[in-house]
């Protein structure tokens, strides 16, 4: 190796460029750069603005904290204590180094703390970490901390409100206290705690635009009502798997800027939204409950996945019969089905979606067990529909019958231009709906068949998984043979 190739050119780069490189690393990787040379020592403390404290970034040898049920109880108990102590110590040391190596005006963008504590006594440290972040202009706080007592779920009285009222007693002179100046916090994500009364910290939370609540004790309907009252600039609200909440009411003048609302709480009984003129998207997963929507003129996108204890089809029927009258301006509907949708399900005489242009059906069926032709009656209720997506679920079964059922009578769809089918397996029965559309969607321009199942993650985001193994060997060819001959000259067919 020649001398030229041994020159450390990276270390000669300006601090600003090195800082940019470090900011792209995980926290663990960034901290480890200190051992490279004296040039790199503690450089990470001036470069990191996103602080992520979790198992992967804080605990180096996780095997030392084994808490599986194959480990004796006494050892599990000791491991949990040691794990919690090591975590708290590491976070304290990291924040101390950030404090000592930076200018008082040092800013951070995000503080994320995800950890399972074994004792509630450590939760007081969270207030100091929270105050540290707020005092340094943090815009996002992601906090999910669950107290676990020796491998069991916590009792209700073991949950802590975070932040606690004690956070206001932390002195700014200590270097991490909160002053009464306006906070920069825009995004707050809380999990596995008791919902605090944000009115106590109005100067901290009044600028919130995003509030994400997951597995929280909501205390009461009135408590959440008071919290929302203090968040006058809120634009994005999600409430998932929370309890002690039965009636959610958002009415003018509460949340006048709210654009997105996501609710997934099975114990909820009533959702009432009135006078939220800015609301554009509503997503709901849960049982059939009472919905009351009024004066929401911008609400044009809705996702529903309704569960029912007796027949899952009743949940879909509820969505298809209530939404056209409750939200007549609806343009985009994402309809979530369940794995146990009845084989004979076929909704009829549906009210008309007078403005619907984009329909997405998720987990549209088990193609092994039944046809997807129930979609036909749904299409008749959507005369202005321009785009249809059918995201099928893959079943690991062999097809029972190769026979295609009789074709339904022709029913022209004059506005449908694009169709996407994902999760294709290559079964004969799944092609029935595709053949029907090729023969009845007179303005159809594009049909895409994708073997990779797509999964909806919420708020317009999607994930996907691998195609079924038999697609490459036989499924694709079978589908090609069945549908390509049905396509007209103006239709592009893509079989991926």
380-394 pLDDT per residue, tens: 899 999 999 999 876
Six-digit token string for 430: 């799944």
43-57, 71-85, 90-104, 457-471, range with the lowest pLDDT: 71-85
CA distance 260 to 280: 6
Given a cut of 70, whether residue 161 has pLDDT beyond it is no
Most confident of 176-185, 219-228, 394-403, 436-445: 436-445
Q: Per-residue DSSP letters for 163-227?
A: S-GGGGGS-GGGTS---SSPP---EEEEESSBPP-GGGGHHHHTT--EEEEES-B---HHHHHHH
Question: Residue 173: pLDDT band by 50, 70, 90 thresholds?
Answer: very low
Question: Residue 359: pLDDT band by 50, 70, 90 thresholds?
Answer: very high
Instruction: Quote the pLDDT of residue 358.
Output: 97
Given a cut of 90, whether residue 373 has pLDDT beyond it is no
Task: Name the strand (E) or helix (H) holding 229.
Answer: helix 221-229
Global pTM value: 0.85
Contact 46, 21 (CB under 8 A): no
Instruction: Quote the pLDDT of residue 271.
Output: 93
CA distance 259 to 278: 5
Mean per-residue pLDDT, 216-231? 84
More confident residue, 367 or 26: 26
More confident residue, 408 or 168: 408
For the segment 257-281, what is each residue's pLDDT rounded down to a tens digit? 999 999 998 788 999 999 999 999 9
Q: For all residues of the chain together, what is the average pLDDT?
A: 79
Question: Residue 170: pLDDT band by 50, 70, 90 thresholds?
Answer: low
Instruction: Quote the pLDDT of residue 175.
Output: 46
């Amino acid at each position: 190796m020649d001398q030229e190739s041994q020159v450390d050119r990276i270390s000669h780069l300006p601090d600003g460029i090195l800082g940019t490189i470090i900011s792209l690393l995980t926290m663990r990787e960034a901290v480890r750069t200190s051992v490279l040379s004296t040039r790199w020592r503690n450089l990470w403390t001036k470069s990191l603005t996103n602080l992520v404290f979790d198992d992967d970034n804080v605990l180096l040898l996780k095997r030392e904290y084994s808490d599986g049920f194959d480990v004796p109880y006494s050892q599990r108990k000791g491991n949990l204590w040691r794990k919690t102590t090591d975590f708290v110590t590491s976070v304290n040391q990291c924040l101390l180094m950030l404090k000592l190596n930076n200018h008082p005006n040092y800013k951070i963008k995000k503080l994320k703390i995800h950890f399972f504590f074994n004792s509630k006594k450590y939760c007081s440290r969270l207030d100091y970490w929270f105050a540290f972040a707020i005092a340094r202009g943090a815009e996002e706080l992601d906090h999910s901390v669950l107290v676990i007592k020796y491998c069991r779920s916590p009792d209700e009285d073991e949950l802590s409100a975070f932040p606690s009222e004690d956070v206001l007693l932390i002195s700014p002179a200590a270097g991490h206290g909160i002053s009464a100046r306006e906070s920069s916090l825009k995004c707050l994500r809380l999990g596995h705690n008791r919902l605090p009364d944000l009115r106590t910290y109005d100067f901290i939370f009044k600028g919130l635009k995003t509030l994400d609540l997951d597995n929280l004790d909501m205390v009461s309907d009135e408590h959440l009502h008071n919290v929302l009252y203090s968040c006058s600039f809120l634009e994005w609200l999600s409430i998932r798997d929370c309890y002690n909440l039965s009636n959610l009411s958002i009415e003018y003048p509460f949340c006048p800027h709210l654009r997105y609302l996501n609710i997934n709480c099975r114990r909820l009984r009533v959702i009432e939204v009135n006078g939220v003129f800015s609301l554009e998207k509503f997503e709901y997963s849960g049982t059939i409950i009472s919905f009351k929507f009024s004066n929401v003129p911008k609400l044009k996108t809705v996702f529903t996945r309704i569960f029912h204890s007796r027949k899952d089809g009743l949940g879909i029927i509820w969505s298809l019969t209530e939404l056209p009258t409750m939200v007549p301006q609806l343009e985009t509907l994402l309809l979530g089905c369940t794995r146990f949708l009845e084989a004979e399900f076929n909704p009829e005489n549906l009210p008309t979606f007078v403005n619907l242009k984009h329909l997405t059906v998720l987990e549209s069926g088990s193609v092994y067990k039944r046809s997807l032709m129930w979609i036909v009656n749904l299409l008749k209720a959507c005369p202005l529909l321009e785009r249809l997506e059918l995201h099928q679920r893959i079943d690991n079964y062999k097809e029972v019958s190769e026979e295609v059922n009789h074709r339904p009578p022709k029913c022209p769809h004059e506005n449908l231009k694009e169709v996407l089918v994902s999760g294709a397996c290559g079964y004969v029965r799944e092609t029935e709906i595709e053949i029907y559309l090729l023969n009845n969607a007179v303005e159809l321009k594009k049909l895409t068949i994708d073997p990779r199942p797509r999964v909806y993650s919420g708020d317009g985001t999607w994930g996907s998984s691998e195609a079924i193994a038999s697609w490459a060997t036989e499924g694709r060819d079978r589908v090609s043979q069945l549908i390509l001959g049905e396509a007209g000259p103006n239709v592009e067919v893509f079989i991926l």
